[in-house]
């Protein structure tokens, strides 16, 4: 039993999709979120730079009392692979939880993955899926624009630019006949409607952030680290750029974020 917060970080605001899921499945837990909005995006940068930023993000969260850390960022999770950036508390990225769920869900053994260029180049999801079941056929596509389209609010189901970009990225995956698609970057669930329209019925869309939240619950249960509080937990948000830009955009991800306690902090 432990009353410390769960620490969650992301390159930008996509990780709020994981915070939202944590609030639903672990409503009594406190969450400390860090979004590196002064340096978003990570997914088009080099591995070396992403790992340096990751180290700094984790160090920032560790200045607070946290009992677990979640890298709610497909890019960071992919660069880390099987490595954990902390030794004394539990950690998860989004890749393994999402791959585990995809392997369970797929019926025809064909899984699609979309992510940032760094994520797809790393083959992280493919490696994780094949470690579970070497027979799974994986079709992966880098989607460099989608993070920006989501961060800038091009998220309406009828937005023609986002539809055109998504159509271009998703067509090869749809043509491969997948029945399961891992949205491997935590920004993508915000445009789930558009992705679903393009993929068509019968394709299960998995949110990497949600799967990480479910996996985090299991980790905390196993290590007896869940709080026994019966009060609603609090979310505290930190960002590396200004609070005002966070307030403008965070409501797209999580209604509460726009009203909660938000601080700007250099890292």
265 binds its own copies (CB under 8 A): no
**Contacts (CB under 8 A) with its own copies, residues 223-262:** 240-242, 244-245
Least distance to its own copies, CB of residue 108, Å: 31
Task: Give the residue numbers marked as catalytic.
Answer: 73, 185
Told to check if 59 binds its own copies by CB under 8 A, we report no
Query: Closest separation between CB of residue 40 and its own copies, Å?
Result: 9
Is residue 137 near its own copies by the rule CB under 8 A? Answer: no
| Angle at the Cα of 63 from the Cα atoms of 24 and 98, rounded to 5 degrees | 40
Q: From residue 121, give the alpha-carbon distance in Å to each of 64, 75, 115, 187.
A: 33, 10, 9, 18
165 counts as binding its own copies under rule CB under 8 A: yes
Rounded distance, CA 199 to CA 128, Å? 23
Region class of 125: left (phi > 0), else alpha (psi between -120 and 50), else beta: alpha
Q: Rounded to the nearest whole angstrom, what is the least distance from the CB of residue 8 to its own copies in the complex?
A: 22
Going by C-alpha positions, the residue among 199, 5, 216, 185 that lies closest to residue 97 is: 216
Q: Across-strand partners of 71?
A: 9
Verify binding: residue 152, its own copies, rule CB under 8 A: yes
Q: Which residues bind its own copies (CB under 8 A)?
A: 37-39, 44-46, 48-49, 52, 144-145, 148-149, 151-152, 154, 160-161, 164-165, 168, 240-242, 244-245, 266
């Amino acid at each position: 039993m432990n009353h410390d917060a769960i620490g969650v970080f992301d390159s930008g605001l996509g990780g709020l999709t994981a915070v939202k899921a944590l609030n639903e499945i672990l409503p009594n837990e406190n969450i400390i979120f860090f979004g590196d909005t002064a340096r978003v995006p990570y997914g088009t940068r080099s591995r070396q730079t992403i790992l340096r930023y990751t180290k700094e993000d984790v160090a920032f969260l560790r200045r607070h009392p946290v009992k677990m850390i979640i890298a709610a960022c497909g890019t960071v999770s992919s660069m880390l692979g099987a490595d954990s950036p902390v030794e004394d508390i539990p950690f998860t990225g989004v890749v393994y939880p999402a791959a585990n769920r995809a392997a369970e869900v797929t019926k025809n053994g064909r899984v699609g993955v979309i992510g940032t260029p760094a994520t797809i180049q790393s083959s992280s999801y493919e490696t994780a899926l094949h470690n579970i079941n070497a027979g799974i056929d994986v079709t992966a596509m880098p989607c460099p624009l989608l993070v920006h389209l989501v961060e800038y609010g091009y998220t309406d189901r009828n937005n023609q630019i986002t539809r055109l970009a998504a159509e271009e990225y998703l067509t090869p995956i749809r043509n491969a006949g997948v029945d399961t698609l891992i949205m491997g970057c935590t920004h993508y669930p915000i445009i789930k409607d558009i992705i679903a329209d393009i993929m068509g019925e019968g394709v299960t869309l998995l949110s990497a952030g949600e799967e990480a939240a479910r996996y985090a619950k299991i980790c905390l249960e196993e290590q007896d680290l869940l709080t026994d509080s019966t009060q609603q937990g609090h979310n505290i948000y930190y960002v590396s750029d200004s609070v005002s830009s966070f307030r403008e955009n965070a409501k797209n991800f999580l209604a509460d974020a726009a009203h909660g306690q938000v601080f700007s902090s250099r890292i």
